Structure 1
Amino acid sequence: MRELLCNSTYFGVLISLIGYGLGVILKRKFKKAVFNPLLVSIVFVIAVLLVLGVDYESYNNSAKYLSYLLTPATVCLAIPLYQQLELLKGNYRAILGGIVSGALASFLSVFALAKLFNLTHQQYVTLLPKSITTAIGMGVSQELGGIVTITVSVIIITGVLGNIMAELVCKLFRIKEPVAKGIALGTSSHAIGTVKAMEMGEVEGAMSSLAIAVTGLVTVIGASFFANLM
């Protein structure tokens, strides 16, 4: 049975989709942030692999086809941005300022924590792209000499935490402006945060979509500079 699953072409895709579908059902039923579909699917896949004794490499070989959809899915986020183009033109200074500030905050927090916990250079650069979408973050990590698999994990964790805590943070700091909410989510939590932004409203979703692209560009440029600081 184990050999059959390890050699299956679509086993990884199947359990990934089942896990995500289960997460969607739980989120709709209980309406709790902790039942984020991506988080549920991660836990579900890990549990299935442990129970069936399937190693990660075998799973990844059959689940890699899902990653091919990552880039076109990210590009599709341009649609809500186009629909809010006039709003973007009227607030471009504040929007760009917010995105750059968010990217700098990400870099500085990683640098401070790396110093605090005495991380190696490789570990440090692995964490630098934590707040950008996986498609860009993997390339940045590889270029800087980081551990790509850990970078992917950190990016996912960052996005899931942003998705779960978004409403609480906005309520705690009394952030009511839709543009501010969208920029904050897209800058700090990339595509996973953008899903939450779209749930909040069209403006939030559009601004978050913009933040993903611009933050990715700022990170590609800024990561090279910050990588040399340690």
Structure 2
Amino acid sequence: MMNYSLYLYTFLTIFGFWLALQINKRWKSIIFNSFILTVLILVTILVMGKIPYDDYMQGNAPINHLLSLSIVALALPLYEQLRQIAKQWRIILSVVLLASVFSMFSGAMIALILGATPEMVATVLPKSITTPIAMEVSAHLGGLPAVTAVGVVLAGLQGSIFGYLILKKIGLRHQEAIGLSVGSVSHALGTVSCMEIHPKAGSYSSISLVLCGIISAILAPLVFKIIYVFV
């Protein structure tokens, strides 16, 4: 029999996000954006309340099912910048292509240096693309999709927290470049972070995450083969 009281955890998530937004309005921070604050608030509540994670995830199903819609919603700022993006499509495609290849090679090479097996290399290789595509790529290469999902989340969190900050510190000023950079390595989580800071950065980040997913899915098998041919 279904325990419908579990769905109260959905309201807990909404409350956590609402509270994070209120804090973010009064305390602007690139590192502690609304997404990071929501995670910290919910983790604190779950730990202090000794709430089983499985129960929370089951009760949070209505929001989890909205993930696909949230990705589609990123098309709005993309549409708003479409005319400008169309004028720069060659540069955008070149940057995203290089970023996709570099992200795959860097993760795989570090794994190899640390003594990873081919299975783990295949698991780490698609870490910088959105979760559904990354898990499919990992499974196709012989990796562990569940572990890949964890890697994707970690990459997204790092980009969401530090991506914009580091790029600004090194003197990168163009919002277009910042958006393409963050979106190419930190997918949706990085895009949300960019969206909160500057609409143009969010627009370019959203197109970057989409193109990186497509390019990486196509090139991942080739990159995987090249690594083991030359290494």
Structure 1 length-normalised TM: 0.85
Partner of residue 123, structure 1: 120
CA distance in 2, matches of 1:119, 1:109: 13
Change in Cα spacing, 1:199 to 1:61, as seen in structure 2 (3 Å) is: closer
Partner of residue 154, structure 2: 157
Partner of residue 217, structure 1: 214
Partner of residue 9, structure 1: 6
The Cα shift of 1:219 comes to 1.4
The Cα shift of 1:227 comes to 3.7
Change in Cα spacing, 1:139 to 1:20, as seen in structure 2 (3 Å) is: farther
Q: How many percent of aligned residue pairs carry the same amino acid? A: 29
Structure 2: state its 5+ residue gaps.
none
CA distance in 1, matches of 2:73, 2:176: 20
The Cα shift of 1:194 comes to 1.4
2:68 to 66, 71, 75: 71
Change in Cα spacing, 1:54 to 1:127, as seen in structure 2 (3 Å) is: same
Aligned residues: 226
CA distance in 1, matches of 2:145, 2:56: 18
1:71-220 paired onto structure 2 within 5 Å: 71-220=68-217
CA distance in 2, matches of 1:149, 1:29: 37
CA distance in 1, matches of 2:62, 2:49: 21
The Cα shift of 1:148 comes to 3.3
The Cα shift of 1:7 comes to 7.1
- Cα contact 1:27–1:33 (8 A) shared by 2: no
2:59 to 62, 65, 71: 62
Change in Cα spacing, 1:122 to 1:58, as seen in structure 2 (3 Å) is: farther
| Higher mean displacement: 101-110 or 196-205 | 196-205
The Cα shift of 1:164 comes to 2.0
- Cα contact 2:31–2:165 (8 A) shared by 1: no
CA distance in 1, matches of 2:206, 2:71: 8
Structure 1: state its 5+ residue gaps.
1-5
- Cα contact 2:17–2:38 (8 A) shared by 1: yes
| Higher mean displacement: 33-42 or 108-117 | 33-42
Change in Cα spacing, 1:138 to 1:14, as seen in structure 2 (3 Å) is: farther
- Cα contact 2:127–2:155 (8 A) shared by 1: yes
Partner of residue 3, structure 1: none
- Cα contact 1:162–1:189 (8 A) shared by 2: yes
Partner of residue 47, structure 1: 44
The Cα shift of 1:214 comes to 0.5
- Cα contact 1:38–1:160 (8 A) shared by 2: no
| Per-residue CA distance 1:55-104 (angstroms, 9 max, x = gap) | 33222222233221111211121222222222112111110011011111
Partner of residue 35, structure 2: 38
